[in-house]
Amino acid sequence: MLEMTREEFEELVAEALDRIPPELMRLMDNVAVFVEDEPPADDPELLGLYEGTPLTERGEWYAGVLPDRITIYRGPTLRMCESREDVVAETEITVVHEIAHHFGIDDARLHALGYG
């Protein structure tokens, strides 16, 4: 397994977020991004997870709710990558993938766009 400290991985996630176009970042609403070492035990290869209500599904009822949560998982990313460059690329893909869910884009469309 590739070695990388949690701090280094968190920095890669922050850099991936910085590469999201500012016009998209301004549209993100009530969402927080976290880094965790491992995903839930029932899905050990999960790289990222979006939990919340996509912007496309929010209605008048959407008020006073906790922020949506995007979690990027360090362990499975490091286990699947062979180099730091692979981690950088995979982290960026995962961050974009989870942000896309916040915007209401489903897995089928993401796979078609190359963000599998």
In a domain, 1, yes or no: no
In a domain, 76, yes or no: yes
| Residue 115: pLDDT over 80 | no
Average pLDDT score over residue span 100-106: 95
Summarised one tens digit per residue, pLDDT across range 3-27 is 999 999 999 999 999 999 999 999 9
Q: What is the pTM of this model?
A: 0.92
In a domain, 46, yes or no: yes
Q: Kindly report the CATH number assigned to the domain that includes residue 97.
A: 3.30.2010.20
Distances (CA, A) of 84 to 7, 87, 89, 113: 14, 5, 9, 24
For residue 73, the surrounding DSSP H or E stretch is: strand 68-73
